[in-house]
Amino acid sequence: MTNTPPITDSHCHLDFPELIAELPDVIARAQAAGVARMVTICTKLKNEPSVRAIAEAHAPVYYAAGTHPMSVAAEPMATLEQLIEIAQHPKMVGIGETGLDYHYTAESAQMQQDSLRIHIAAARETGLPLIIHSRDADDDMAAILREEHGKGAFTCVMHCFSSSEALARAALDLGFYLSMSGITAFPKSQPLRDIFASAPLERVLVETDSPYLAPPPHRGRRNEPAYTAHTARRAAETFGIDYATFAAQSEANFERLFSKVAAYEAAA
């Protein structure tokens, strides 16, 4: 580790082929860049054992599990009982990613909505944060989140947020968090940066979504958790604060939302 203020990559996919082949080096580079923790996301529950094994084998890695909306039609529907059981693992810290994606898979919209509601119920039951993927589904997403939150509170992060100001406001009004990915560092993403700049700083996380969406200066190439630092530096500029201040606040935000991580580390 360097003297760089620590940050957390709150969303990556370490089990994907682009990263798993050199995983020890990927984790070492992340830590050298100041990325002290990573949450790797299981997108198909049949892969949960292998994702869990990554978290068990590497101290800086935690994991979350769910069925990605683009996979809902091809995978068995997750059950509430299944998600609750998986959540008992000490390093399983979030429910998802789940959500709605009408860009590529609009034909399965109803199945996606049904799956999303199951994942919300699991988040409510376990107290773990819900991890939401939303693309081209802003109205339905806002409506479902409001409706379900009215049935009983739960916590949530809008991962890799790149949707409308209206959806951002709907999420923030419910007490949810927005996560900044490499997209927010792209030169043409000023409208998205403006959305984040108007959000409460205490409700913002950072992530890579690696191996996708590498920020400059690595745009167009494979992303990895170490590059969270590039996104975080651009985020500090967006909020008009220095990097150390942003890093400290984003860490506090992460530990508040992903409270199971802080509890695990305190008990270790």
Quickly name the fold that domain 7-267 has: TIM Barrel (3.20.20)
Tally the C-alpha atoms within 13 A of residue 184's C-alpha that lie toward its C-beta.
34
Token pair in block for residue 176: 């949810």
Ordered by start, the domain boundaries in the chain are 7-267
Q: Are 132 and 96 in contact (CB under 8 A)?
A: yes
Token pair in block for residue 196: 């984040």
Q: Residue 34: left (phi > 0), alpha (psi -120 to 50), or beta?
A: left
DSSP H or E segment with residue 137? none
- Give the CA distances from residue 266 to residues 11, 13, 70, 155, 244, in Å, rounded to whole numbers and listed in that order: 22, 25, 36, 21, 23
Angle CA(21)–CA(36)–CA(38) in degrees, nearest 5? 50
DSSP H or E segment with residue 218? none
Q: In this predicted structure, what is the pLDDT of residue 3?
A: 75
- pLDDT (tens place) for every residue of the chain, 268 residues total: 447 899 999 999 999 999 999 999 999 999 999 999 999 999 999 999 999 999 999 999 999 999 999 999 999 999 999 999 999 999 999 999 999 999 999 999 999 999 999 999 999 999 999 999 999 999 999 999 999 999 999 999 999 999 999 999 999 999 999 999 999 999 999 999 999 999 999 999 999 999 999 999 999 999 999 999 999 999 999 999 999 999 999 999 999 999 999 999 999 8
pTM given for the model:
0.96
